[in-house]
Structure formats: structure tokens, C-alpha cells
Structure 1
Amino acid sequence: MTPDASDDDRTVIRPPGSTPPTAPTGFQPTEWSAAAPPPAMERTQVVAPPVDDGGHLPVGTMLAEFRLTELIGEGGFGVVYKAFDTSLEREVALKEYMPSSLAQRIGGGTQVQVKSERYRETFEAGRDSFVKEAKMLASFDHPSLVKVYRFWEANGTAYMVMPLLKGTTLKDVLRDMKRGGQGVEEGWLRGVLAQITEALLVIHAEQVYHRDIAPDNVMFLPEKGRWLLLDFGAARRVISEQTQALTVILKPGYAPVEQYAEIPGMKQGAWTDVYALAAVVYFALVGRTPPPSVGRILNDTYQPLVEVAAGRYSEALLAAIDRALAVRPEHRTQSIGELRQDLGLGDAPVAEMSYSTQPLPPGTEMPPRYGSEAAQAATAMKALATPAPAPRAAAATAARAATAPAAAAAAGSGNGLKIGIGVGVLALAAVGAYFALAPAPRPAPPPGELAAAPVPAPAPAPAPAPVAATPVPAPAPAPAPAVFDPAAEFERMLATQTPGFGVKAEPVKAQLKIGVDEFRFNVTSDRDGFVYVYGFSSDGTLALLVPNTISGAVRVRKGQTWRFPTGNGFALESQEPAGPTQMLVLVSARQRNLEGAGARSDGPVKIFPTGPAAAALASGFTGRGSVLGGVPVCPASGPCDDEYGAALMRFETQR
């Protein structure tokens, strides 16, 4: 056959000698028997492969210093072996890149070659992606991510070596629960989600997305008591994208619609993993997957969990998963950090977030926030530097921006602190658009009280007349609601901190050169606690920087140093214009609920109002200290001590 001839990759062809044919030959599936050998075809003999030999290497084969001892698994894109590391004398798992539809072994040995030259580009692209995946996994160090010990290219293919894992997949665990008549408990499920979402936060911070989360890709390791995220399958995706064989890799029910094709306005990102993970939870709770997402676009038959599982699980859990399973990406939970917050796994429980974007009609390009988790984080908040605008102008800006989509709001006023994650920094979208509704001023005294102010003189003598013309001093028209001073709120938190909590926050460098230096600082505490970092600029921007949707809840241990940035991909870069920045670090014995401060999410951080709305919220706050510090999250019963420590830092950005 010529290289241009049609072939079918479902049959393994093995030439009799060590020299391969010049062009591989393919056939429709055929069974050969010893009693009836296949007919001769020119000079090429077709030999049936041995049972269970799908192209894997035999036991005893040496690959570098690794001796293969057992076949663990074999798929269409690779083979996994149990191997013995003769150098370090330990058992490992060795994964070989071997896409059976594109490549074959030469003479049954270790050398791999493409079946046809027309497959070479796809094969090599998959191999490159396999190596990149190995490098990526080797760079991560998280107990819920697979660690790669070593990777290399040889024999025309590539390999990676990982720990030999002994565990049970979530798919099998759920199956056994069902067989035993045991329901899924919410507390247990939250424990699974806590560990897996932590791992996803780590990879998403590096703009790496799993895109194949399913019950069979989550494993429990009994010896470590940990859940593990498996099989990123980067090579598989690259090959499938090039061959357009989407049905090979997508799992209906778990794959969101944006994975099925390059639909305008539907890019893949953190929200893609959010959907798949939520589908896993849906399956765990009701025993079936959601309807395939591609079908939901035309006729959405999805049954919300708040209806089908009501009464068996908390409404917060069910609502969070329903939101994460919105079929259109722009309607869906945007990041793992947001999902953790909705589930109560990260920061203190928060109210439903108000997105700055409006629902997009079909075919509309998404705003930049859907580009990637890193780009979303980069559009966080404005810089901390120039004089604040007049309150009325800011209020007008807020009113306009509150009715505009995010794409329009992105053109909001200019200067400020910019948050960068590795690849660049973008300006905040309309920091002025906090709230369109300003609270009503404090009610004036009743008319009767005002009328009584100019008390008339008892005698008709004219002398008291000038006195009568001067009214008795009445309460001023309440200036407090019109003024909210974040710096004063910081001082209030410092003044009301718990004695002996012992929080210290020290800048690594207080004088920052714009465009060169990052905001870096170290935090220590004499007690364990949850970390909250607030940033305030001279232009009036006030933000909660930590925790954020990338970091989730952050804890500092007694006597240990918590360093910012932490290396999770979230960093603060000094940007134009020059000016002062104040940062307050609060360490709380309990997580805190900050709803009372009226913050809204913007990218990974939260922006607080600072005008009359903030003043009204502050005047109505009945907790300890400042409204910015919120209140502790306490159990339904038992004591609840509101204890925290605080420290203030000052930075100066200079040209």
C-alpha cells in the first residue's frame, strides 16, 4: 500500500522481522486463527498480537535505570507500568507516551515510530505536550497533586516517572457506597472538595487547567489520608484537538460546553474545571450526571439540586453547585476560589456576589475577565496614589458604571494600585462603581424640636430680641454619614485589638520603585489565626487583598512567618502614579464575615465602598472595632470570642 492509502488504526500490524515495512498497512478488524492462517499478502505476513498485548513493553524491559515489573494500565494515548528504580531501589510508576492510533513499536522493541508520515506532526505535538505536562507536574508540590520524579525523551517517545500510588478512585468509592446502601454525607463530601480545590487553586495560579475532572480522576490514598487529582492528559487533548476527535476525550455530563468546540465568546479557563468538579458533586449527590452540556444549550433539562436534593443537604451546598453548573460560562462561578467561598471552604461565608458583567446573548464575545485566571487577577484594583476625586463626581461615576457591562466599565477612571500575576498588569475596571445607591442621610430632628429652638422672651422688653434671634444650638446635620475615613478605620482596628495577640507586619522594602518593585512583606503572630490584608490608597481605593479567590483562606501559625507574595501566583506590582499606600494586616482567631462592609468582588479581590454608603454601613455596625473587620464566624452553640491582632504598614511608590 502507498502512504496515501486509507488505513484503519484499530488493527495492530506486526511484521515478522526486525525491519519494519516501508509503510504500515491497516485493515478492518479481523480475527485470525491457528487453523486458518491469514492469506499471504504480497511478501508481508500479518501476525495476530498476543492476548492483552496492546503495544506495551514486556516485563523486564529496562528504560534508563527503571526495570518494568508489571503493566498497570493501557489506553489509547499511553501506557503505565509498575517499575523498579534500580538506582534509588524503590518502586515507582512509569508512564510512556504511546498513542496507539498514531504510532507503533519497531520489531516489538522499545523504539517507537509513527504509522504514517501524515501522523508525524500530531504525534510530535502530543509528545511535546506530554513533556510539558511532566515539567509542569514536577514544578508543583502539593499533597493532592501527583509528583513527577523524572521525565525524559528516548526511543522516539517520552517517559515520566511518578510515585506508585495505591488507592481507590472516587468512582469506585461512590459505587461501593451505593451498593452498601450508604448515602453520601455532606461533611465527608466537603472534605473531599476541600483537598481537591486546594490543588486546583495551585495549578490555576499558574494558568494550568485540568479539563478532565471526573470521578475516575480523583483518588483516595488510605496510607496518606489524602485525595489526589489524577491524569491531566495534556498529550491526549493536543492529539484530539488536532484530529478533531473530541468524543475520544470528553466525558458527557462532566465536560462543559466550551470544551466541545471553539465557540465564539466561549473560551476555556478556570470556570471549565469549576463545571466539571460541580458535575462530580452532582453525580455524588443524586447518582447521575447532569445532562450533557452541549444538549443543554438547545434544551436545558437540568434539574437544580435545590429541588431534587432539598432537605438532604444544606441549601448553601446545593445552590453553590447549581451556580457552578450554569451551562453558559458567563453565568457560571468563575474560579475555584469563588466556588470555595460559595461552599464555605475558603473565606467566611459571603452573600451572593454581584457580577459587574451582564448576561451575554449567544454569540457575543466575553469580556476580558474570561480570558484566564491570571488575566482576571491582573484586572483587580486601581492604583494607590493620586488625590481622590470629589465625592459627587465619584458618585456620578458609580451610578453610570453600575448600569454598564463590564467591558464598558473597564474604561473607568485611571490611576492606582495594579495587581500583577507573572505576565502583566491591567487597570482595574471602574473602581468607582461601588454602589449606585447612596444611603439616605441621618434623619433630621423632628420639626417640633426645631420650632422650640428660638425660645421667645417672657417679657415684651425689646432687649432680649437679639438673643431670641439666635437659635439654641441644635445638632448639626450629622456630618458622620457623609464621611468615611479608611485610615481612621485602620486605627480603630489597631486600637481595639486583643492584648497579647502580638501581630507584626514588616515591609521587605518600604520605598518601591514603580515598574520594578513588588509589594512584599512578612507577617508573624504570637497566636494561630486567619490572615486578612487590607490596602488603602491616597486616591480612596480600599480593597481586601487577602484572602482572595486565588489564595482561599490563609492561616498563619504561632511563631511562624507568613510571607507575601506566597508564590501562588498572586502578587502586587508597584505602578504609576507615585504615592503612599497603607496596608493593615489583621490576624483573627476565627474566620470573619465581612458582609457588613458592603464589599463586592472584582477579579480575585474585593473592593469596599468608601463614600456615603460606607459611612452608613459603619454607623450601623454594632460589632467590635471597625465595620471593615466584620464579625467572627461562630458555631451555632458554645462560646465565641472575638479576638484578633493587627499591624499597620506604610509604603511609598516612587518614580
Structure 2
Amino acid sequence: MTPDASDDDRTVIRPPGATPPTGFQPTQWSAGNAGGAAPPSEATQMVAPPPADGGHLPVGTMLAEFRLTELIGEGGFGVVYKAFDTSLEREVALKEYMPSSLAQRVGGGTQVQVKSERYRETFEAGRESFVKEAKMLASFDHPSLVKVYRFWEANGTAYMVMPLLKGTTLKDVLRDMKRGGQPIDEPWLRGVLSQITEALLVIHAEQVYHRDIAPDNVMFLPEKGRWLLLDFGAARRVISEQTQALTVILKPGYAPVEQYAEIPGMKQGPWTDVYALAAVLYFAIVGRTPPPSVGRILNDTYQPLVESAAGRFSERFLGAIDRALAVRPEHRTQSIGELRQDIGLGDSVPVESHYATQPLPPGTEMPARFPAEATQAYAPTARGAPAPQTSMPAPPARPAAAAPSAAVADQTPPAKGKGAMIGVGAGAVVAIAVGLYFALAPKPRPAPVDQTAVPAPAPAPASAVVAAAPAPAPAAAPPAVAVPAQPTGFEPAAEFDRVVKAQTPGFGVRLLTNKTSYRIGRDDLTMTVQAERDGYLYLFVHGADKSLLQLVPSFTSGSVKVKKGQILKLPLPGETAWETSGPAGPTDLLVMVSPRQRDHSALKPKKDGSIRVFPTGAEAAALAASFDGTGPVMAGKPLCTPNQPCEDEFGAALVRVEIVP
């Protein structure tokens, strides 16, 4: 239920009157739109000089034991690279502090220096904050917070190394759910909140506040079944506070009034993140951001959700969001724990040793023996689904943060110590992109050791693969939903839409891909499926070349079942990988979940390896015209026992991805 991207959730920082830079947008980059970096080089020296005025380092550059293999993102405050750790032999993201408005590269190498002495103090303050951010992230150990493997200072700048993750931002997930007709309901939002609020409780216990929560700073990692909090933006914020030469434009729909320097007398604290998180929920429910907080001080046009969204969500849930969006801090929900209690998640989580702050692990700070060259980066990629909600016991008591004061308070965060509002750096780069056409060439993938599906709340098996068996003869089934008449032609994209519109309410099917665009010959498609009812799974693909395929069930998998509330990963273990091949263009994915097995023989699909290939064009139109089912021809018919009641029910979800060169 989200609209197209708008400026409401962008953070822009630039010198007044200057041309806006590309912007360090760690949750919106992908290798595909980063300019198509060259393949990794084996060289250990720089193969080409970087641009004279800032810019990224070339592929093949060695920074300590890390070889740069690809540019992930580049903006006004830093550069993020994909890199290979030659010591541990793994891919990582490497992030370099590089504020292009203040500094530049010199000597055709990795050395960075300020453009002018008048910028030195600001540059150094930003670098110090960058390092503090890295230390803070390295000290926290929570699955919904970005982890830092290494950080160090060299070449006049600083670097941090992070996991190379694959995920999709909440903003993109919401957009795709709306496009595919998938429900954004209270249980789903609770699943997102459960994990993000756990992470916020952990950092707030150390008096560290995010201050930039928005849909593009929350990411789902389908391979881990987790939501992740991104981009604290420490260096960016400190630079803006250190100089009058930079103007900060906060995200107006999400920033509470106390974040605006021109509003005196209001401290920032846990309630600051409470407001932003509630604004994210508002955006998910309404499809737009709440009115900007500054405008609400003089003329509050906010319409309570208990009125505007009544009937779609519980009154308790909506009332909790309304209270968290109170414009004045002293009237607002005061803590994340209180917000969790209001919503019904419980007021606390266990801040145990493995989730609380830790001493920095040995080797986190890089020894001086390594070369001075350095860089940092990190990246995620994919679409997401909610993770299980858990009830949590109360944590050990910690000193409460000071309540917001009505008196004038110092707006400058502490420069040192745990009270400093450190940001989780732009280290989180989204290698997101989805698009695909699948050439299912034989490329068997070894079966992983873990389960086929990631269990959600219940410990029961997440999915079951049922051996193919002779199906009972199909019997006529009464219509479950009124469906438009079959069209005279046959267009797969339109047929997919008809299936989604004809679905039975209550299935809550969610389809989440690992990317939003796929590079031909380089990326494989993986995805997760979740539903609110048990059922048999069907997956269809309409490619950019106009082909129409059925990937699930395949001739090797047999029937596949989804368990209520549990996450099923595709392709299944041992199944052929779903590769991408040309041509480039949009590809639609339709998933169906049905309590009964379904018969799709009306379109007379043909076997091609392990998959079914359906006809299109005039042939498909002629077959569809003779279809005697009660719904769309692509939905098929339920397989029922003769002379027994048979309900034609199913849920569906539709996602579009892009195939790119």
C-alpha cells in the first residue's frame, strides 16, 4: 500500500547553491545501476588512476587483504565496494569514508586529503564519527543490526568491512506487495516490528539513537528470515552539524519536531525513534507519510488512524501508532518498550550477553602492519517477509533516558561517550534488483543441510514436499469468487492479474524475491513464499521473451505444500538452480496457494526438462475459450473427489522483477 517513491523519505545534504551530489543512499544501490563494474582483477596494484576530484578506486585495488571487485555505491559521504577477503576467502562489503565535498584523492593512489584547510576540522570530525560508528556497530551483536568485521584508519581516511548481504528494503517490499495485490495486515506489520524494535531496545539501552528510521532504512534478508536496521548516518550528521556550509534536509514525513534545530526546548531521545518508527507504520497503512511534524506545531492536520483506518486493523494497534505520532515529545510514547507494550508485543526483550554491547573482538581494529590502503563497503539484496514474533522476558534494569523537557535544552549530542548519537553507517548497501528470465539449464545445486523452509512461530516443519501421485479426476466446483468473463485474447500478464483479483480472501499469500533486478548470466533467482493457510504451491513465470512457464511443481519435485505461517524457500534443496538469461526486460512471477491440488491441463502445457511450458498467443486464446472452469484459466480447476463437496479456493500473489544485461 505504498505509493511511488517520493521526496518525503529522502535525506539530502549538499552545499547551498551547489549541484546535488549523487547522494550516499546505501539502501538503494545495486551493482546493476552502479555502472556495471568490470570483473574482478587479479592485480594487487591499482590498475588505473581514480578521478582527480574524489571518486572511487578501480577494481583490483588491494586495501590490506581486501581486493576490490565491484563498485556498489558512491555518494557525497562515502564509497561502498564489493571486495574479496583474500585471507578468509569470502566476499565482503567495504566502506570508505570519502566526503566528496570536503576531500579528494591525490597522487593517483589511495591517499585522501582535504580540498582546503578550511575544511579540515569538519573532515576530521566526520572521520572521527565514522570510526565511532564502526566501533559501535562492532560492539553490538544483534541479528537485526549491521555487523562490522573490521575498521581502521589509513591513507588520510577510514574504512570499515561488513557482511555482503542480500536483501530488499521495506519501501520496496511495500511497493511490490501493493503491486501484487498482497495484503498489508496487522500480523505482517507485527512481524516486522517485533525484530526492529528488538534491535532498537538494544541500542537505546546504551543511549544510542538511530534518528533516521524510514522504509528505505529497514531491509529484509530472505536467506536469514530477518529484518535489518540500516544507515545510522553518523558521519553525515556530524559533518552537517560542524559547518554552516552544509544544509541538512531531514525526511519530513519521518523526522519528529525535536530534530529540527529551529525548534528549541525539545530534547532528542528514545521518543525520537518512536516517532519515526510510527511514521513508517503510518506509511505502510495509509500509503503516504504523516504530515510533516514542523507544520503540525502550528496547524495539526493529522487524522488519527483509529478513524481513518478503522475496521482494517485493531483499535489497540491503531491507537498505539496515533500516540507514538504525537507531535510534542512530552505527549508522545516515551520508549520503544512502551510502544511494544501498547501494540501487544511485550515491553522488553532479553538484553543477554550476545545481544548487548561487547568488548571489541580481537582483530576488529586492523593492526598497523597492514598496508595503508583502505576502503569500506557492505551490501544487501532481496525482497522480504516477516519473521516470527516472540514473547520476550524483561531485560536487566538499565538507567532510564531523561524525559523530554519543556525547557530549552542543548540540541547538540555529546561528542564522546555512549550518549553520542552514533549512526549505523551507510555500510548497508542494497544490492537489490529483481528481474529475470530463467533459462533452466541443468545446473544442479547441492542440497543444503538446513530445512527447506524457515520456521516461523511454530516449531512444526515449515514445508513438506509431497511425492507426485495420480490425481483424482477433476470434478466441477462451485465458484468461490465472482470473476470477469474470459477475454477473447490471451495475454499472460493480464491473466496473472485476473488470478490475483479472483483469489479467495484470507490466504494472505506473500511472495518475496531475493532481488528486484537480475543480471543476465550472473544472478540466480531465489525467493520465499508464506501464506496464512495450508495449501499446495504453484509458481508461474511470464518472461520478457513472452514465454509462459510453470516452475513449481516441477517434474522432479512432485507436489509442494506450504504450511500456514511458515516461510518456504525456493528453489527447493536439490532442485536445479533458476538462472537468468536474456532477453532483458520485465518478468512477472505469479504464485498460487490452494487447499486442493489443481488441474492446469486446459492450456495443454508441454514438458521441457523438469518444467512445464505453456502456449501463448492464438493457441492459448483458443484453448482458454474452451475452458469450463469457474475462474481464470491460469488458476486451473481444483481436483475434487466425485460427488463430494469441493470449494474452489486459492490465494495468489504477483511480483514483477527486471532482467538487466
TM-score computed with the length of structure 2 as normaliser: 0.46
Of Structure 1 and Structure 2, the greater helix share is in 1
Structure with more contact order per residue of length (Cα contacts < 8 Å, sep ≥ 6):
2
Q: TM-score, normalised by structure 1?
A: 0.46
Structure 1 or 2, whichever has the larger Rg, is 1
